[in-house]
Structure 1
Amino acid sequence: MELLFWLLLVLINCSGNAITTWMDANRSGAASMQWWEPWVWEFSSGLVWLLLVPAIVWFSRRWPLHLDNWRQRLPWYLLASVPISLLHVLAMFALRMLAYAAMGERYQVGVWVDELLYEYLKDVRTYAAILFCIDGYRFLRRRLQGEAQLLAAPDEGPPVEPIEHPERLLVRKLGHDFLIATADIEWAQAAGNYVNLHLRGHDYPLRITMAALELKLDVACFVRVHRSWLINLAHLVSIEPLEGGEALLHMSDGSEVPCSRRYLPVLKSRLSEDRELSLPA
């Protein structure tokens, strides 16, 4: 679905720009322009942006922007725009040269410093638009799937359950609140400042670090298996060893969770302890 969105966005945007460029050229009497040139210009740029989107998605997931950190991270986003624009321009010019050569023409590049600066001023706006689309999609997805949060202490009286080790989490979805049991969480994956809690085929983002979540969950049920992953032992089906001392964990819902070499001995030790405890005396 995400790939289809980006494909349609590039197709519609590039086609619209190519058509308007051709119409403007005819209106101004630029007879030297060939009909295929606007299409090469636009789609060479759009194709490269399409290839750069996964890197931008990864960067924004690794260091997400929020209201509480945008002052510290915005300079890094601006700094990242420079190599992204450079990659975009160089790859775009290479594609145009190939396309022009295929048509028996030669693509002319002006003064490189001027061209790079001109393209950067355009690229930084496209870069910002891509980030806006990514954050907008994530916001909409959290609202549709539901966003989890820890239960807060009541204004009056003692809490119904321990706040430090809650048995339930509050999930808000489409304006409605409901509770989920922490024991029902099958696995969790870190995503920037959030941790996605997976249960019954749904992911519920919880704004917390993986280390903090690990301290709040029941250690008898959950175990850390990777820097970015944590599983519920009750939903572990099998362990598939991999080269390099790592492993792939097969979960009851069909998901595959990576287990790093660092955490694999811990997982096996926990499983051995649980098996010994389950044996009759």
Structure 2
Amino acid sequence: MGIERRFTYESFQRWRRPFELGFWPVFAVVNTAFNGVIAQMDNRSIPPWAPWVWEVSSTIMILALLPALIAALRRWPIGWETWQQNVPRHVLCSIVFSLIHVEGMVLLRKLAYIVEGDHYDFGHWWVRFGYEYLKDVRTYFSIIAGISFYRFWVMRLQGEARLLDEPDVGPPLEPVEQPERFLVRKLGKEFLLAAREIEWLQASGNYVNLHVRERDYPLRATMAGIEARLDAQHFVRVHRSYVVNLDFLVEIEPLETGDARLLMRDGIKIPCSRRYRAALRERFGQAATA
């Protein structure tokens, strides 16, 4: 009788980083191999190495530009609420992407041709650029779509938090300005998460991750906005990107730089900036004696 194995976010976390780092290089190698074979079959009258130079030079530039593309998507995410505003920005980014891609791959091809004792002629630049841009804009938005879909899938697997909405009729059951609970949606199911159970919060792009029992629930909000709605008796700002729950803080370790390192109950260490250190020590002492 076999053992049932469930695919969970925790099991995915073990190899998520290697997967994210390795996916695009592996995909690029496979795609380049297929395109190189096809290009060689379609251009039998030219030296056999030439089609491979074309494909490899293009792939190298796309991989080099990939971090910038990912940063652009993080800065201007495409979702139901943002696509009208951010898609035009990505269209402009795709033009810049294509200009750098074409310029770089032409340079690499010229160098490769020189090594082979030949000359590479790109032709009329603006005419060829129009042709290359039609391919590049498809590549750009294919990568954008792939990353967006992957992030959506991970968020569904991980779970996403949001603030409780005010009821349509009657007063809210709890203070909306200082919520006692958050609504967490995960794999189509919803459950309530007590604010007191949040161990710390970390800013991450357009989200704030709520860390609860070794799990992060992203909440679409700014750190300043959510900090103002947390109970100040329990939650304190310790860094530009971190807010901690004093109930889960175990130790404050001073550093020579004037900053500090915070040890949480589960063993995780969180940075504390010097500007927050004095206030934190005072608050931590009060919490410890309370």
The interval holding the TM-score normalised by the smaller chain is 0.7 to 0.9
The answer (yes or no) to whether the contact 1:62–1:191 under 8 Å persists in 2 is: no
Aligned match for 1:19, one of 4, 14, 37 = 37
1:72 is matched by which residue type in structure 2?
A: Q
Shift of 1:61: 1.2
The residue number in structure 2 matching 1:220 is 233
TM-score (norm 2): 0.80
Shift of 1:51: 2.0
* CA distance in structure 1 between the partners assigned to 2:232 and 2:173 by the alignment: 21
Between the two proteins, the alignment pairs up a number of residues equal to: 271
- Cα–Cα, structure 1 residues 115 and 178, in superposed 2: closer, same or farther, change >3 Å? same
**Structure 2: 5+ residue stretches without partners:** 1-18
Shift of 1:112: 2.4
- Cα–Cα, structure 1 residues 77 and 237, in superposed 2: closer, same or farther, change >3 Å? farther
- Cα–Cα, structure 1 residues 35 and 76, in superposed 2: closer, same or farther, change >3 Å? same
**Structure 1: 5+ residue stretches without partners:** none
Shift of 1:221: 2.5
Aligned partner of residue 216 in structure 1, secondary structure = coil
The answer (yes or no) to whether the contact 1:242–1:248 under 8 Å persists in 2 is: no
The answer (yes or no) to whether the contact 2:161–2:218 under 8 Å persists in 1 is: yes
1:229 is matched by which residue type in structure 2?
A: Y
Matches within 5 A, 1:92-241: 92-155=105-168, 158-233=171-246, 234-235=248-249, 237-239=251-253, 241=255
Identity level (%): 47
Shift of 1:44: 1.6
* CA distance in structure 2 between the partners assigned to 1:73 and 1:65 by the alignment: 6
Shift of 1:139: 0.4
Shift of 1:131: 0.8
- Cα–Cα, structure 1 residues 195 and 278, in superposed 2: closer, same or farther, change >3 Å? closer
* CA distance in structure 1 between the partners assigned to 2:115 and 2:263 by the alignment: 49
The residue number in structure 1 matching 2:69 is 56
* CA distance in structure 2 between the partners assigned to 1:8 and 1:105 by the alignment: 30
- Cα–Cα, structure 1 residues 258 and 102, in superposed 2: closer, same or farther, change >3 Å? farther
TM-score (norm 1): 0.83
Aligned partner of residue 72 in structure 1, secondary structure = helix
Shift of 1:11: 1.8
* CA distance in structure 1 between the partners assigned to 2:117 and 2:74 by the alignment: 43
Aligned match for 2:285, one of 250, 260, 275 = 275
1:16 is matched by which residue type in structure 2?
A: F
The answer (yes or no) to whether the contact 1:14–1:43 under 8 Å persists in 2 is: yes
2:39 is matched by which residue type in structure 1?
A: T
Shift of 1:184: 2.7
RMSD of Structure 2 on Structure 1 (CA): 2.8
1:184-239 residue CA offsets vs partner (Å, 9 max, x unmatched):
32332333432222233322121222222111222222233444433334346445
- Cα–Cα, structure 1 residues 266 and 246, in superposed 2: closer, same or farther, change >3 Å? closer
